[in-house]
């Protein structure tokens, strides 16, 4: 994939920001699956202003890794 050599020179790893974006897309998909968009008129997704987003990447994703698993914890 083109993005591996673009993150760190001579250390091809998937950027944490791309992993975080994957979490956002997974959460959006789940909310659509739950039908949240049918309960709120003109619903759209965006971060809540002023609330921090905490992302922890627990390991590197490198070329050739067969699997990348997401685990999300959502707190109210």
How far is residue 76's CA from residue 65's CA, in Å, rounded to a whole number? 33
Question: Could you report the per-residue pLDDT of 21-65, keeping only the tens digit for each?
Answer: 888 888 888 888 888 888 877 777 888 899 888 888 888 888 888
Res 17: pLDDT: 84
Mean pLDDT of 1-5: 77
Res 76: pLDDT: 66
Helix (H) or strand (E) holding 7: helix 4-7
Nearest by Cα to 55 from 3, 18, 13: 18
Longest CA–CA span in the chain (Å) reads 48
pLDDT at 75 over 80: no
Res 50: pLDDT: 92
pLDDT at 14 over 80: yes
Cβ–Cβ < 8 Å for 66, 73: no
């Amino acid at each position: 994939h083109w993005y591996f050599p673009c993150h760190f020179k001579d250390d091809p790893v998937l950027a944490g920001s791309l992993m975080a974006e994957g979490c956002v897309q997974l959460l959006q998909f789940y909310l659509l699956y739950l039908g949240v968009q049918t309960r709120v008129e003109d619903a759209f997704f965006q971060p809540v202003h002023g609330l921090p987003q905490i992302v922890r990447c627990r390991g590197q994703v490198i070329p050739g890794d067969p699997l990348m698993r997401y685990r999300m914890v959502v707190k109210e």
